[in-house]
Amino acid sequence: MNLLHKLAEKPWLAQTEGGDAALLEDSGPRLPAKTALKFFIAVVSVIFFLFTITFLSRSQYPDFQALAGEPWLPLSNTGQLWFNSALLVLASAGLELARRQAGRQPLGAVVLALGAAAVCSVGFVIGQYLVWLQLSDRGYTVSANPANSYFYLLTAIHALHLLGGLFALARLIYRFAERPNLASLQQNIGLCALYWHYLLLLWLFLFALLVAPAETYRAIAAFCGL
């Protein structure tokens, strides 16, 4: 009888009745949120991929004048854009540090890292706006050249996604201040860190694309058959 009883047991059910049940409950809400974020990132990637294709195709028309390549062109000097990129790198690093410290005590390092990430992210957006002002002051307005239009469009959409991330980060900090939950905090900071890492990689791609000379556009377009 004992042998039959052991054969009839369902160890996978017994395991969830014990201590692992709490683990499953904790991981349950995290999986849909992470899946949704990955799906959102995939959609954004497709959108920017389509923008890139249209950008390369439009660059083959005679009225398209690249913003870099010659010394007198505005994006030939990329100092401000490199500074903005450094701010976004620091923001991404700050969120990664906060993610690693979130499950530990005390929380001072987490708060400091989150604050630094938010400040650097806002600084990035302000820096991008300053580049806009510099272009506009030199006559490179939205309607003056298709390359200008794409620069404003792509950087604006990227900045909007970053501002959306800042809103989510502020909401996370507010909810944690009302009801501290270390497990939830660590999970949500992990999602924010993943999103910031993606925005950093996306910006580096856009940076390389937008400051490339006309010869690069022609070579890429020829390779892609555009």
Answer whether residue 88 is part of any domain.
yes
Answer whether residue 183 is part of any domain.
yes
Confidence category of residue 13, pLDDT binned at 50, 70, 90 = very low
The answer to whether 88 and 203 have CB atoms below 8 angstroms apart is: yes
Answer whether residue 120 is part of any domain.
yes
Rounded Cα distance between 46 and 56, Å, is 15
CATH no. for residue 204? Answer: 1.20.120.80
Confidence category of residue 181, pLDDT binned at 50, 70, 90 = low
Q: CA distances (Å), 226 to each of 48, 53, 95, 135, in order?
A: 17, 9, 39, 28
Answer whether residue 40 is part of any domain.
no
List the one residue out of 186, 157, 182 whose CA is nearest residue 33: 186
The answer to whether 78 and 212 have CB atoms below 8 angstroms apart is: no
Answer whether residue 43 is part of any domain.
no
Answer whether residue 223 is part of any domain.
no
Rounded Cα distance between 89 and 59, Å, is 29
Number of domains in the chain: 1
The answer to whether 152 and 142 have CB atoms below 8 angstroms apart is: yes
Give the Cβ contact number of residue 54 at 10 Å. 12
> What is the predicted pLDDT for the residue at 105?
59
pTM, full prediction: 0.82
Residue 136: give the domain boundaries: 78-211
> What is the predicted pLDDT for the residue at 219?
87
Contact partners, residue 203, CB within 8 Å, separation at least 6? 85, 88, 158
In a 3-state reduction of DSSP, which class is residue 106? coil
64: left (phi over 0), alpha (psi -120 to 50) or beta: beta
Q: pLDDT digit string (tens) for 50-100?
A: 999 999 999 999 889 999 988 889 998 899 999 999 999 999 999 998 888
Answer whether residue 26 is part of any domain.
no
Contact partners, residue 174, CB within 8 Å, separation at least 6? none
Rounded Cα distance between 73 and 84, Å, is 19
Answer whether residue 73 is part of any domain.
no
